[in-house]
Structure 1
Amino acid sequence: MVYNLLSNALKYRHPDRVPLAQVRGRDEGAYHVLEVQDNGLGLDLTREPELFGMFRRYHTHVEGSGIGLYMVKRMVENTGGRIEVHSTLGEGSTFTVYFPRP
């Protein structure tokens, strides 16, 4: 899961700047929270319902099957967690994953 989020940060880097990916963790209420933030291409969140769909791809200029984020979401939800995304086109994205605390 973390591998997919980090590899996406590098695959979808912005061509005009050095790629930067930050990984942060914290506890928030009943959850352990993992954030992966990048300074890449960003996403058009008006299409967010498609983002975690199987075989869905936002950017087609790199190789990929469109199954990675689908699998990440399924794994997280199967543990009782959730995943959120915040993004600005041309600036980057932050994926926030909430894992229930035991």
Structure 2
Amino acid sequence: MTDLFLLIKQAGAEIQVAIQECGLIDFSSKNARSIVYNLVSNALKYRSPERQLLIQIDCYLQENYQVLSVKDNGLGMDLTDKSKLFGMFKRLHDHVEGTGVGLYIVKKIVENAGGRIEVESKVNEGATFRVFFRDSGNLKAGHDK
């Protein structure tokens, strides 16, 4: 993660974190690190040159899930062909380096643990990725966001 700190500094990015609502997520720390790394790294790579990058990392409870949300105000994406977004070696932007496996790996990690990942995006406005972690029984009933 230390290489992300350098990229964050170089980009002049502001990162806001509000994850207290979730408490601990019962999930492999190595896999959780990979998920956060990929989502924050993508926000940095696909930032807009027209504005300071703002990344908001949030966690909240929804139904039987702890939801980690990573939102940015970057380039955004046209999600007409959403299947391409999570495909192996698939990329929606070609102007930066990358292999096209990051989101594929994130999706596989999350789905293999009984969760899911969703994305919302608008071109030139940014993207929001929501990772749904299956709750291990620690959620308060009826608490939603």
Instruction: State the TM-score bracket (shorter-chain normalisation).
Output: over 0.9
Taking only the aligned residue pairs, the percentage that are identical comes to 59
- 1:58 is paired with a residue whose SS is coil
Aligned length, in residue pairs = 102
In the alignment, the residues of structure 1 paired with residue 82 and residue 76 of structure 2 have an alpha-carbon distance, to the nearest angstrom, of: 12
Match of 1:36 among 41, 54, 70: 70
Aligned to 1:60: 94
- 2:40 is paired with a residue whose SS is helix
- 2:39 is paired with a residue whose SS is helix
- Higher strand proportion (structure 1 or 2): 1
- 2:100 is paired with a residue whose SS is coil
Aligned to 1:70: 104
- 1:46 is paired with a residue whose SS is coil
Q: TM-score, normalised by structure 2?
A: 0.70
* Offset of residue 96 of structure 1: 0.5
Residue type at the aligned position of 2:37: Y
Residue type at the aligned position of 1:28: Q
RMSD across aligned positions (CA): 0.5
Aligned to 2:50: 16
- 2:88 is paired with a residue whose SS is coil
Unaligned stretches of 5+ residues in structure 2: 1-34, 137-145
Structure ranking higher on relative contact order (CA contacts 8 Å, 6+ apart): 1
Q: TM-score, normalised by structure 1?
A: 0.98
Q: Deviations over 1:22-60 (max 9, x none)?
A: 000011110000000000000101021110000000111
Unaligned stretches of 5+ residues in structure 1: none
In the alignment, the residues of structure 1 paired with residue 115 and residue 66 of structure 2 have an alpha-carbon distance, to the nearest angstrom, of: 9
